[in-house]
Structures are given as structure tokens and as C-alpha cells.
Amino acid sequence: MWNWIRNWYRKLRMPSAYRAYERRLRAAHEEEARRKFSTVRYEARLLAANKAMEERAQRRFDMPVAKLQLEVVALEKQLESCLAQLNNFERPFRDEYEELEAEMALLGERRRNAYAAKDIKAIDEVNAEIAELQKRTNAVRGDLAVQTDLRDQGLTPEKLRRTVQRCEGRLQTIQDEQERIQRERANYMNHSTDRAEVDAIEREMLALERKHIQFLRDFDSPAERRRRERAHEQTWLNGA
């Protein structure tokens, strides 16, 4: 009688005991999966392969592009200087001087009238305008002096135009070269043997991850579940 009651009570407790039993087995199964299907080694290989590929790309492609870019900076600076000098040669200084002289004549007439009328406000205004006009005149004289210096250096508009054309031609050549190098870099990063090595490691990792997922799913397969239930039932009823 006592044994019957004990067995009945154990059967009554068996479902809750099974749930605890299954949690332990699932945790052990997941831990086994982490050990068995760890991608740490593959991740290290992948990191090293990607780093090696990037370093080769920098040596073969990025460094030449950077060197060309330094030349671009120098050429653009030279081109800017030549264009400014050419603009100086092409300025109509005679016309500018005539306009300034005409403005000064008008201002001189206004000043004489202001002094004659003893109009202090008008005198101050016209004197301020004359001072500003003198600044503009001095600036034009300074620019003309620059042209004189350029001529003394042997520069002419024709020489400057040739330099501009040469700079623009070289800049276009460099741009074409940089674009070619970038295309080669893209091809290397996507289709080289180094890329093939990276892709192979990634495929191995993906295959391992799929096995990992399948291993975890196998725990919940109907056959595995029945096997665990039978094993637990037998162990539980035997008093273990």
C-alpha cells in the first residue's frame, strides 16, 4: 500500500520534474553547441585576412592615389596663381584710370562748391568720398605695379596661358589615372585571390553557423523529445 502511494505521488510530480530535467539538458545542449560550433577561430582568421587585404590595397592603390593628390594640390595652387597673373595682364588699367580721374574731377568740383558754400556737412562727405577714391586709386596702382614686376620677371600673357594649359592638361591626366587606380582597387577588393580567401572563410563560418542552428533545433525534434521523456520516466520511476 505504501509503495503504491509513493509511486502515485512520484507520477504526480513527474511533469514538473521533467520540466526541470529538460531545462538542465537544454542548457547542457546549448553549452555543447557553443563549444562545438564556436566561430572564434574563424573570426580571427577572417580579421587577419581582411586586414592583410586592406594593407595590400593601401600599398598598391591608396598610396599612389595619395601621391597624385599631393601633385593635384600643387598644380591647383600654381593654376590659381597663373590665372590671377593672367587676369592682371588682361585688366584695362587705362580705362580704370580714366574712370577714376573722371570721378576725382566730379568730386573736386563738389568740394569747391562745398567750401564756397561753407557747408561743413557737405565738405565732410565729399572729403570722405575723395579719401575712399584715393584708396581705390592706390589699389589700382599697386595692381599695375604687380604687372610691371611680372614683366620684369619675363612673364607674358602667352607664357601664362601655356602654363595654364599645361596645368589643366596634367590635372586631367591625374584625374584619369586616379579613376583607373580606383577601378583596379575595386576589382582587387572584389575579385582577387585575397578576396577569394576572405570569401572562403566566410563560407566556412556560415556553414558552421548553419550546423550550430541545426544542432540546436535537433534538441526539439519529436524523436529527441520522446527519447528524453522515456529516459526521464524510467529514471524517475526507478527512484533515481
Q: What is the pLDDT of residue 114?
A: 87
Q: Is residue 26 in some structural domain? A: no
Ordered DSSP codes for 198-239:
HHHHHHHHHHHHHHHHHHHHHTTSHHHHHHHHHHHHHHHHTT
* Interval 117-130 mean pLDDT: 91
Cβ count within 10 A of residue 126? 21
Cβ count within 10 A of residue 135? 10
Q: What is the pLDDT of residue 121?
A: 92
Q: Is residue 165 in some structural domain? A: yes
**Which has the minimum average pLDDT: 103-107, 153-157, 196-200, 224-228?**
224-228
Q: Is residue 61 in some structural domain? A: yes
Q: pLDDT tens digit string along 13-44?
A: 556 766 888 889 889 988 999 999 999 999 99
Ordered DSSP codes for 58-99:
IIIIIHHHHHHHHHHHHHHHHHHHHHHHHHHHHS-HHHHHHH
Cβ count within 10 A of residue 47? 11
pLDDT tops 90 at residue 73: yes
Number of domains in the chain: 1
Q: Is residue 29 in some structural domain? A: no
Q: pLDDT tens digit string along 134-151?
A: 999 999 899 889 888 889
Q: CA 163, CA 158: separation in Å to the nearest integer?
A: 9
pLDDT tops 70 at residue 4: no
Q: Is residue 212 in some structural domain? A: no
Q: Is residue 215 in some structural domain? A: no
Q: Is residue 73 in some structural domain? A: yes
Residue 210's pLDDT band (boundaries 50, 70, 90)?
very high
In angstroms, the Cα distances linking 143 to 100, 147, 152, 186, 219 are 15, 7, 14, 49, 88
Structural domain that includes position 155: 38-191
pLDDT tops 80 at residue 211: yes
The sign of the torsion formed by the CA atoms of 138, 141, 147, 152 equals negative
